Amino acid sequence: MTGRNSRLTAVFGLGALLSVASLQACLAREARSPLPQAGQLDTALGAWRRAGRDELARRAARVDHAARAMGHLNPRAVLDRGYAIVTTAAGDVVYDAAQVARGDAVGLSFARGGAAAQVTDTDAG
């Protein structure tokens, strides 16, 4: 017997030595086996990953929807439907006929290209 084992035998008897050896073997077996919580952790991790993917997909769908909605508000989308944007010589968008007078130079923006024009008449209607 080794020094430690002989001291255990001397103090506690042979039964203590067998008990220590069996405890060591049990501890070695337990150390090699996975913890019971490992399965729960794997399940929780999988659920967390799925929830993250689902939330990311929901947020991406919301961003796509917002982008489409913003596209409808884009003035250039209006031009694609055949309208024009009129600007003053200073570059301000003309919202009201009162902003321009006869003889004023204006710019016209179309879906593809633009033109320069001169106001020949206004209707404050």
Collect all residues with Cβ–Cβ distance below 8 Å to 5 and sequence separation of at least 6.
Answer: 17, 20
pTM: predicted TM-score of the whole model, two decimal places: 0.45
Residue 70 has pLDDT above 80, yes or no: yes
The answer on pLDDT for 57 being more than 90 is yes
What is the average per-residue pLDDT within 56-65? 95
Q: What was the pLDDT predicted at 72?
A: 79
What average pLDDT does range 117-125 have in this prediction? 88
Q: Residue ranges of the alpha helices (H) in 1-125?
A: 3-12, 14-32, 37-73, 75-80
The CA-based dihedral angle spanning residues 55, 56, 61, 64, taken in that order and rounded to the nearest 10 degrees = 150
Reading the block at residue 33, the tokens are: 């086996």
- C-alpha closest to that of 84 among 92, 96, 76: 76
Q: How many C-beta atoms surround the C-beta of residue 96 within 10 A? A: 8
DSSP designation for 110:
-
Domain parsing of the chain, residue ranges: 1-33, 35-73, 75-118
